[in-house]
Structure 1
Amino acid sequence: LILGVAYSENFAQSLAIFGVVGAGLTIVLKEVVLSMVAWVVLMTGSMIRLGDRIKIEKVNNPIIGDVVDISLTKITLYENITNDSVTSHKRAGRIIFVPNYLIFTSEIYNYTHLSMKTIIDLVEINFSFDSNFGKAETITREVVENISGRYADMAKRQYDKLKSRYTLRNMPTYPRIVFYPSIQGDGVTMAIWYIAPYREILNLKSEITKQCITQLNAQEDIKLIYSSASVYLESNRKKSTFGSVQI
């Protein structure tokens, strides 16, 4: 009887110890286990594949790159030169390792999911209120169609393939040009939406911007505006003024 009691006490202590150790291991290995589960999801699905360009949305630190490897616990990305690297990161060319479990906890943007190899990109240009908006739209549409129009049919074919898998409406016609009051309230913004291959995003954005600005700026009845900041020194005091300037 005494041995039985002693054995039962040791057994209870052992269970308690194993319980504490197990709980600790669960906490420590939680991300590893989740990453392994995520690997199974990635291998059996089509969410992300080798060669895809993806963006992982993390707070204050979005990650974007081309998928070069998917292992049991991590996704390896090559940080190519993209719009994000130009506007936010200010650098590129790094190898990035991200744990697989992020597919469960973060938003994932896939630029090349399944058949899609194009995206819809945006260029914005600001005008004064007295500009000839109809003329500006005509000039801009001609420029954009000459540069990106050849990709419209390709994008539509890719989009139609996705419709066989997802519930999607018919693809709108691009380019799409819309006008709305600028955020600063000092003019009107023209938003230009157009089709761009994911590997040519920066090239098309650059060419469309250059040609649109050049042609629009040559028109007497179209006035481009841009935000500016000036600093004046008066009696050893610095004074800043902000506003918009017409071209």
Structure 2
Amino acid sequence: MRLIFSLIFLFLSTLALHAEEVGTPLKADQMRENLKEINRFLEDSNNIWMKKYANFRAYRNIVAEIESVKERLSLFQKRSKTLANQNEVATLERRLETLEKQRELMQEYKDNPFKELIQPLERGEVASVTNPILIIQAFSHIRQSKQELETLERNFESLKRVVESLKTKEALLYELVVLEGIEEEVMEYKETQNALGELESTQNIFSTTLGLYRKKVEEQTQRLTEQIKAQAVKAVYIGVAVLLLFVLALLMKMGIKKYIHDNERIYTANKIINFANLTLIIFILLFAYLENVTYLVTVLGFASAGLAIAMKDLFMSVLGWIVIVIGGAVHVGDRIRVTKDGSTYIGDVLDISILRITMHEGITLTTYMENRRAGRIIFVPNNYIFTTMFANYTHSGMKTVWDGIDFTITFESNHRKMVQIALDITKKYAKGYTEITRKQLNRLRDRYSLRNTNVEPRAFTMLEPNGIRISIWYQTNAYAALTLRSTISGEIVDALLAEPDIEIAYPTTTVRAPKEPLPPSDGAIPPVHL
């Protein structure tokens, strides 16, 4: 019985040994097919990790070859200077120079070839969200941080796949080396071990870096999100306050229009309300978003000196606006005259802002005689009130001004009669304005010292080289002086032409004929004088 069992065991062992010998080639072929699949993945052009490692390995090979060439070069330089040795030295020097240039080009792979793949970009610390403008910056930082984290996570996943493939390749090569021991496979196995060791070390570092960066992104995102929410709530409160100020200002303006009927007072009140409203809004924004008021005062103190020089005209305009508003030299609706660089502009004030006066040029004697243009919008900087001739035709409620008409009659004319005619015509058309002016001047006596309040039309007679000049002065509407001037001038011309003893003087030339000579005694024809 024991003999039978021994024979059976021997048969089965022989059969198993034969089956193993037959199956070994089949198993090796399958492993090599698997290795081809793994190598296709590792050698793919999109596999950035193996590319980096290949460059890193090439750099190390170059460094090792440089050391080998240096040793050989040192050895040949010590030998005798034969022609063969000199040629070898020259060859080694050229080779060393080439290798040095290659090493210089691949310097980025000296330490860590995977640094740009495993380390996040340095963006610096984001500032705290202290105002609505920084909310956009905070959102941008959160978005960029999340994108960077997603990129690192993708890199980490791709590295894991590469490491797993290298581990599989190492196991397959190990089995092939054990089974067959082919030298090429042994070399490939060692190279795979080196690559796996380098990438596994990188994976461990990357895992730690990624974990720390993920926590940092989460903390920053949470902090910035809370600050954004706080600033949003704060902005809503400030917006409600500003809206209430606008509504209050609107209600005040409606009340002013309802209970005040003087347009000038309505305009002034609206300006005051707008200025107060704007000031309150500025203060609300400053105290809401300015963390250190002392810092603002310090900055303004240093900046004011430079601004005062660089923006002198601007500050002077603001100061001029204060003088105009407080002093009351000019009001909206006044007719003013401004002279600058030989040009004169007369018009009605449309608006007085912080920086300038806006006026509408009217049709006046100045536009008729000098500018030949009217209806333009003139912008007068407020600082002109300190440096330029400013005239107000309607200051303190005055609505009239003196205007004059000059004309010349001949010396032979009855000048007394003409003066009386001109005065009668002037009094007729200027009577209403004369009474208005008298009442206005009586009201001005409480504010100004007025010595001469005679507002009746006046006539002046002056001797001129070509006749007697008569100048008639009268009160007229400050806004329509040219109209009354035209009317009175036409009446005076009609009256002057109707008087036979009055003639208008104008430049003339008198030609006198020479005296006739005595006729000659011999009866000759007298000469003709041309």
Q: What are the superposed Cα offsets for residues 19-54 of structure 1, whole Å, 9 maximum, x if unpaired? A: 9x9876444311111000011111112100000000
Partner of 1:109: 391
In the other structure, the counterpart of 2:481 is 201
Q: What is the letter of the counterpart of residue 81 of structure 1?
A: I
Cα distance in 2 for residues equivalent to 1:227 and 1:164 = 49
Query: What is the CA–CA distance in structure 2 between the aligned matches of 1:22 and 1:160, rounded to whole Å?
Result: 47
Mapped partners of 2:316, 2:322: distance in 1? 10
Bigger Cα Rg: 2
Relative contact order: is structure 1 or structure 2 higher (C-alpha 8 Å, sep ≥ 6)? 1
Change (3 A) 1:134 1:51: same
Structure 2 distance, partners of 1:100, 1:22, is 20
Structure 1 runs (4+) deviating above 2 angstroms are: 21-28, 226-229
**Which letter does structure 1 place at the counterpart of 2:472?**
I
- Counterpart residue identity of residue 366, structure 2: D
Question: What letter matches 1:99 in structure 2?
Answer: P
Matched, 1:120 2:402: yes
Contact 2:415 2:468 in 1 (8 A): no
User: What is the CA–CA distance in structure 2 between the aligned matches of 1:153 and 1:210, rounded to whole Å?
Assistant: 23
Please give the per-residue CA displacement for 1:147-178, whole angstroms capped at 9, x wherever unaligned: 11122111000111111101111412421001
Q: 1:173 to 1:112 in 2, by over 3 A?
A: closer
Structure 1 residues 170, 219: CA separation in 2 closer, same or farther (over 3 Å shift)?
same
1:175 aligns with 2:457: yes
CA distance in 2, matches of 1:89, 1:124: 21
**Bigger strand fraction:** 1
Hey, what does 1:164 align to over in structure 2? 446
Q: What is the letter of the counterpart of residue 449 of structure 2?
A: T
| Equivalent residue number for residue 505 of structure 2 | 225
Q: Deviations over 1:54-76 (max 9, x none)?
A: 00122311121110011111100
> Is the counterpart of residue 192 in structure 1 residue 442 in structure 2?
no
Secondary structure of the residue that 1:154 maps to in structure 2?
A: helix
The superposition leaves residues 101-140 of structure 1 with CA deviations (integer Å, 9 ceiling, x where unpaired) of 0000012110100121000100001111111011101111
How many residues of Structure 1 are paired with residues of Structure 2 in the alignment? 209
Q: Which amino acid counterpart does residue 196 of structure 1 have in structure 2?
A: T
| Residue 153 of structure 1: aligned partner | 435
228 and 203 in structure 1: CA distance in 2 versus 1, 3 angstrom threshold: farther
Mapped to 1, the partners of 2:304 and 2:452 lie a distance apart of 53
Render the CA deviation track for 1:74-95: whole Å, top value 9, x for unaligned. Answer: 1000011111111111011111
User: 2:411 maps to which residue?
Assistant: 129
Deviation (angstroms), 1:227 = 4.0
Is the Cα contact below 8 Å between 2:332 and 2:350 reproduced in 1?
Answer: yes
RMSD: 2.0
Distance 1:63 1:116, change over 3 A: same
Report the counterpart of residue 495 of structure 2 in structure 1. 215
The 5 Å alignment of 1:17-166 reads 25-166=307-448
Give unpaired runs (5+ residues) of structure 2.
1-301, 510-530
Letter in 2 for 1:221: D
* C-alpha contact 1:73 1:99 (8 A) present in aligned 2: yes
CA apart distance, 1:200 = 2.4
Task: Label 1:171 to 1:22 Cα distance change in 2 as closer, same or farther (>3 A).
Answer: closer
Quote the Cα distance in structure 1 between the aligned partners of 2:476 and 2:325.
29
Q: Work out whether residues 127 and 188 of structure 1, in 8 Å CA contact, stay in contact via their aligned partners in 2.
A: yes
- Residue 326 of structure 2 aligns with an amino acid whose one-letter code is T
Q: Distance in 2 between matches of 1:227 and 1:22?
A: 64
3-state DSSP of counterpart to 2:405: strand
CA distance in 1, matches of 2:399, 2:506: 33
TM-score, length basis structure 1: 0.79
The answer to whether the Cα contact below 8 Å between 1:115 and 1:161 also exists between their aligned partners in 2 is no
Normalised by the length of structure 2, the TM-score is: 0.38
Residue pair 2:321, 2:353 contacting (<8 A) in 1 also: yes
Q: Show structure 1 runs of 5+ residues with no match.
A: 1-18, 230-247
Q: Say if 1:115 and 1:162, in contact at 8 Å, map to a contact too.
A: no
